[in-house]
Structure formats: structure tokens, C-alpha cells
Amino acid sequence: EVQLEQSGTEVKKPGESLKISCKGSGHIFSSRWIGWVRQLPGKGLDWMGIMYTSDSDVRYSPSFQGHVTISAEKFMSIAYLQWGSLKASDTAIYYCVGGSRDNKRGWYFDVWGRGTLVTVSS
């Protein structure tokens, strides 16, 4: 079974750095896209960016470009989402998602992690 296992809850202060992880099982890291999605408290889902696992091509949503870094250790099947300097507004649940793209369906993301709660407070 293909699964994505995310790292645990984090409590940080503004200005601190953070790196959360998402470990894949099965063949999730074989020629797939791994994405990160933010859910602010009481809000909908915001796409942050996606990475193609075969060549580590990363595409960021404009609103997150420069604030976060998406990376991976492909041979260990682990993806990362990293902040250099957290803000209180980064408080949210962050989901790791796995998917593909084809001519019929376009983008589709069919494997979701359970989410990592990040709280940033002084």
C-alpha cells in the first residue's frame, strides 16, 4: 500500500527555522509528483508547491516562493518542507500529497499524508 507518513506536531517561535518531513512507502517516489498543501485555521487548502521526484524539479506557488523550500532525499523516499524564518502567520496544518499528471485527467493527487500541525507563537 502506498502511504505518506508525516513528521509530528511542531511548536516554534517567530524567526526560528523548521524542516518537516514526509516519508513515502511503496512506489510513491517513482516518477511521481510530491506536493505540499497548507490549511490555515478554519480555512481552505492552499497549494504551496510541487516537486517531481525523478529529477527534483520544484515548482512553487507565487505566494510561497522565497519563503519555503521544498526538497527531497529521493533514495530514502523522504520529502521536506523547510522555513528559514517562521512567522506567526505560518501557523497551519501542512499536508504532503502524492500524485501524477496525464493527458486525460490532468493533475491528480490521490495519496495524502495526515498532516503536520505547525504552531508559531511567541
pLDDT by residue for the chain (122 residues), tens digit each? Answer: 678 999 999 999 999 999 999 998 867 777 788 999 999 999 999 999 999 887 778 999 999 999 999 998 877 889 999 999 999 999 999 999 998 888 887 878 889 999 999 999 99
CATH code for position 103: 2.60.40.10
CB atoms within 10 A of CB 115: 16
Q: Are residues 82 and 19 in contact, defined by beta-carbon separation less than 8 angstroms?
A: yes
Start-to-end CA distance of the chain, whole Å, equals 40
Residue 8 buriedness (CB in 10 A; 0-12 / 13-18 / 19+)? exposed
Structural domain count, the chain: 1
pLDDT of residue 81: 98
For residue 34, give its domain range.
Answer: 3-120
Single-letter amino acid code for the residue at 111:
V
Provide the whole-model pTM.
0.92
The residue assigned the cell 530514502 is: 76
